[in-house]
Structure 1
């Protein structure tokens, strides 16, 4: 789910005024709790590309066995508050956008809050991303949550798998280690034994939950929090490394997020690192 839901059905009065008033008075306060036919099964695996994974369910094709090549694994199917969904369907203009944003936030928050339990470890510290998509018709408020293995921090490029992500967060080889720039300049995940420019040092969460988005304050707070995380990981502060982070930096990304940032210690020069920075203190960097 990359953008707030828009374009819900607009109801118009098609008969006489009296009939129209009667219609509005009998509108349901809640949408149906019946799951749409296109809803995927929790635990199902899908071999879809990055573009398809951004679209609403049902995805094209059929689920595949998680032991054969695939890219995405559905771990939860849910529904936002049914009264909220009904209110969004009745609204118009700016009010409709507001209610749809609230629906989006609920769905996204549900996915991010449940992902770690399915993975068996904090998903923020693993090389995975959470995908949240509506299930058609989106006006019912049903949504599906999936996990994908990612090639890089904040990357839309998926890594194919031949094993389930259920319980793979501990001992499954998905821990974030180090990052290096590829030929296109994008930071990708690499083992710390290989030449690299940075290393994952932990996470930082901005509080309070549901805080209003302010780009400058978010940038300053995330930078400060990740600098603290890097200092603790290194065992001291130093001038030849800087902190970096990956997390929500726009209003749309912030909406419904858990306000958590993955923190990195990054080189300030051209020299590559080789080996871990953990506990390096003020000693020489591993080259």
Structure 2
């Protein structure tokens, strides 16, 4: 179970930005500050698939009104440091890969820094995910950031919306409650009064910012941190519930991330829960 959950490691921003690799092949050495024609408008909404957001802008189709059915909402368009982009464009081999990784980290950091301000709250504790894509041509370093409502931890499945996410987290309504396996054995968000396998217990952030990624140390730190979050949430240590987490578990995921993990308490006996374990203490599980 632990391997499956930490394997989710799911900031959608990773796949989307890395997917721009093909656009690095032909690149001049001068980087312009002019925004590419394919850049989306900030505040625009798009009815696009999960696969589409993993590609560079322009996304297929055209933006739609945010009161119409849509899946993604753009909240930031930016450009990484142009000098860095120029050096990466002129570099070759490992030097080019390092430059592109630094660009990726800058873009991702910008998305994750601005997202809570746009949303009005902590997206880690909500059914919202941050996605990001390069804007063609990717070598100039322009990127677009968007937010989506997710059906499951990690945002691999989007929920169509007919309202903007701007400020949406300030009033609640998108908070994570519980998670249950669906017919594909993947976890999805559900209310805690429905049969489920686990419950969100809070977040844990590794400090200091920009700390190096060492897999075993990160795993140990988050396991302990989410274990404490679960104990505090439940009100007592338990052996029939186990702490699990969703967040960056690879060097690629870690680059530019805010090093924050969503923590969950999952039942260990294979039975399903019905009802919340918040404040349960040592009492019987709500089966």
Give the drift of 1:201.
0.5
| Alignment partner, residue 180 of structure 2 | 180
| Alignment partner, residue 255 of structure 1 | 255
* 2:21 paired with 1:6: yes
**Partners in 2 of 1:161 and 1:172 — Cα distance?**
16
| Alignment partner, residue 190 of structure 1 | 190
| Alignment partner, residue 203 of structure 1 | 203
How many corresponding residue pairs?
Answer: 271
* Secondary structure at 2:169 match in 1: coil
Residues 10 and 90, structure 1, Cα contact 8 Å, conserved in 2:
no
**Partners in 2 of 1:160 and 1:6 — Cα distance?**
28
Residues 226 and 245, structure 1, Cα contact 8 Å, conserved in 2:
yes
Residues 179 and 189, structure 1, Cα contact 8 Å, conserved in 2:
yes
* 1:1-287 equivalence runs, <5 A: 1=13, 2=15, 4=18, 6-7=21-22, 8-9=24-25, 28=30, 31-287=31-287
Change (3 A) 1:10 1:67: closer
| Alignment partner, residue 9 of structure 2 | none
Give the drift of 1:155.
3.9
* Secondary structure at 1:37 match in 2: coil
Give the drift of 1:170.
2.4
Task: Note the alpha carbon deviations across 1:35-79, whole angstroms, 9 max, x for none.
Answer: 111110010000000100100011111100011110000000011
Moved more, 116-125 or 270-279: 270-279
**Partners in 2 of 1:285 and 1:124 — Cα distance?**
26
* Secondary structure at 2:256 match in 1: coil
* Secondary structure at 1:170 match in 2: helix
Please, what TM-score do these two structures have when normalized by structure 2?
Answer: 0.91
**Partners in 1 of 2:197 and 2:62 — Cα distance?**
40
Give the drift of 1:275.
1.2
Runs of 4 or more, structure 1, over 3 Å off, are 3-7, 9-12
Alignment root-mean-square deviation, CA: 1.5
Give the drift of 1:250.
1.5
Kindly name which structure, 1 or 2, has the bigger radius of gyration based on alpha carbons.
1
For CA contacts below 8 A with separation 6 or more, give which structure has more relative contact order: 2
